[in-house]
Structure 1
Amino acid sequence: MVDDVGSLKIRPLSLDLLEHAKEKLHEDPRRREADVQAIRDWLKKQAHIIGKPDDQMIINFLRGCKFSLERTKEKLDMYYTMKTMVPELFKNRDLTKNQTLRDILDYGFFFPVGIDKEGRRVFNMIGGKDEPGKVKMEDIMKVNFMMMDHIMMHDDVAIIKGTVTVMDMSQTKLGHATQMMPSFIKKVSVCSEEGYPLRPQAMNFIYMPSFMDTIFKLFQSFSKEKINQRTFVHGKNLESLYTKVPKEVLPKEYGGDAASVDDLGRDFVKQVIAFNDWFVADEKNGVDEKKRVGKSRTAQDLFGMEGSFRKLNLD
């Protein structure tokens, strides 16, 4: 059996991914072209949206929304809206011109490591590789979202089977925590959950210092309950982690059988750099709220921010 993509310019799926997409995401290969066209027709009527997603991007959003056309429209609208509403995270992303982003990317703090027993893509994230105060948290998260864009456009496993993340907090310092303002945390949470078609299945935190408890609880307060139920804190107990993520897919630094953190990180950095033309082209995308039918959206609507937040007392 071969995945017939018809006239769509998308990657054919393996039999395993195709069956999963049909069973879990309500994907019907016979209806795919019509679904993509329905989204295209809708986009033509959205004068406020500046962006022309290709077939692959539209099908990824459809998959991330389990082929609900209305949910796909909402998420695509949010994806383009946040590019204009949150320029500090989604503009000025040309890696050939922004050396700060290149330096952050070279930390190699986020990368795929393998596939677990349920067929989900496992990622490793290492917090605190930067020196607190020398790099803006906004720039770090900007690079993080660039990596998410790369995954969204390239990784069918992550889109269809979902993602599992191992978050290593061992290098995180108090100076990192004090940069995490509540308003910023809210922005990051909303953009991640409402603007991307990725399907997080589990978040595993290890080596989390006690001063991060407040930040962790803030993230949870802004996250959907479904995400919180899929979040696990293992402390320093790697045996606990192994009950959620098999050792064989983890880097050797965590007792696993995969390559080293440095090698895996460098490989993914190369892939993101090779995607730079897409980031440059994406610079023009966003929304023009003056052209939105009905009430224009504001930062208050999206992020619930009233005035400015004072820094958390983490001492």
Structure 2
Amino acid sequence: MPEAEGSCTLSPELLRIAREELNEDPRRREKDIQAVREWLLKQPHLNARTDRQVILRYLRGCKFSLERTKAKLDMYYTCKGALPDMFQGRDPQNPKLRSIIKLGLMFPLPGYDPQGRKVIFGRLGAWDPSKHKPEDLFKAAGMLFDVMFLEDEQITITGIIQANDMTGLTLKHVAALPLPLIKRVSTTWQEGYPFRPKGVHYINTPQAFDALFNLFKPLMREKMKKRVHIHGSNIEGMCKFFSREMLPAEYGGSAGTIQEIADEWLRKMDEHRAWFLQDEKHKADESRRPGKPKTTADLFGTEGSFRKLDFD
């Protein structure tokens, strides 16, 4: 549950982690939140959210560096303004988005791993490129992240783990992902979201996996490259990192079926529909930015620069 205004509901252990790993000082917390809020309100080009929950999330994601927090918030709202395909029309009642969410391509598993981190399970070969636009896949994933942040404060402290089953992935899937889109998504998620990614696990990696991974790897930060674990077809290897009880029934777990979990997250998105519709107005207006407006080329490079990422 999120913190109430001006109070803290985190456990003593999570507060300790926040102090030791994120430089969070309870005596300074509200002053830092207010400093970021005042800065946001002074930016003529930003129509930003200024509620405590969002600002605190970014402060934690930036280890309470005010300058990094400001830069990341600016980047997030700038990306929102620059990428309408990802951030406009985020209505959970949209049939295209509903059909993607119901596929269970990505969903958080219940509970946490032994280190208290949230595990996000992905099935990246379970979509049909002839039926679904990749832009809509990433839009639905961003909506899931937002609901997760709204409902689960712990992840801002302990971070997330990704666990991906690549069954069904083909070169047709890889070819359907435009290289400029991959760059835009990677930049937005890495530079604009206050994630604390702690590791990525892959199982059932077919031949096409190498082609996909070679697209994303050049865009990954060096520390994340060291946190990638590939387990072949051995789910037991992945289960050394988190409990089998967290897994869907299809993987021998007791967390319910994939469809049940996907339907539960669709219900959560429906509950936040008003938030999503209202959130569309929160973005940057480059015509009002002091100094030189930022272009998509400034943010994501030009299409020609992506060609070196092509696969064999």
TM-score of the superposed pair, with normalisation by structure 1: 0.91
1:101 aligns with 2:59: no
SS at structure 2 position matched to 1:132: coil
Q: Which moved more, 1:200-209 or 1:252-261?
A: 252-261
Q: Which moved more, 1:243-252 or 1:73-82?
A: 243-252
SS at structure 2 position matched to 1:286: coil
1:248 — aligned with what? 245
CA contact (8 A) 1:108 1:269 kept: no
Instruction: Choose from 147, 157, 161 the match for 2:144.
Output: 147
Counterpart mapping for 1:164-203 below 5 A = 164-203=161-200
CA RMSD in angstroms, aligned pairs only: 2.2
SS at structure 2 position matched to 1:285: coil
CA contact (8 A) 1:10 1:56 kept: no
Would you say how many aligned residue pairs link Structure 1 and Structure 2? 310
1:300 — aligned with what? 297
Gaps of 5+ in 2: none
CA contact (8 A) 1:152 1:197 kept: no
Post-superposition shift, 1:305?
A: 1.8
AA aligned opposite 1:111: F
In structure 1, what is the Cα distance between the partners aligned to 2:124 and 2:218? 20
SS at structure 2 position matched to 1:185: helix
CA contact (8 A) 1:250 1:257 kept: yes
Change (3 A) 1:276 1:310: same
Instruction: Choose from 68, 92, 106 the match for 1:110.
Output: 106
SS at structure 2 position matched to 1:167: strand
In structure 2, what is the Cα distance between the partners aligned to 1:254 and 1:145? 25
2:283 — aligned with what? 286
Post-superposition shift, 1:132?
A: 1.9
In structure 2, what is the Cα distance between the partners aligned to 1:109 and 1:306? 27
Cα distance per residue 1:184-231 (max 9 Å; x no partner):
111111111111112111111111221231221121101111111111
Cα distance per residue 1:69-127 (max 9 Å; x no partner):
1110011111111111111111111223x221122122122222131111111121111
Change (3 A) 1:279 1:311: farther
In structure 2, what is the Cα distance between the partners aligned to 1:66 and 1:285? 24
Gaps of 5+ in 1: none
1:41 — aligned with what? 38
CA contact (8 A) 2:180 2:303 kept: no
Post-superposition shift, 1:311?
A: 11
Instruction: Choose from 221, 227, 230 the match for 1:230.
Output: 227
In structure 1, what is the Cα distance between the partners aligned to 2:113 and 2:3? 31
Q: Percent identity?
A: 43
TM-score of the superposed pair, with normalisation by structure 2: 0.92
In structure 2, what is the Cα distance between the partners aligned to 1:87 and 1:311? 26
Change (3 A) 1:42 1:257: same
AA aligned opposite 1:219: F
In structure 2, what is the Cα distance between the partners aligned to 1:312 and 1:133? 23
In structure 1, what is the Cα distance between the partners aligned to 2:165 and 2:108? 14
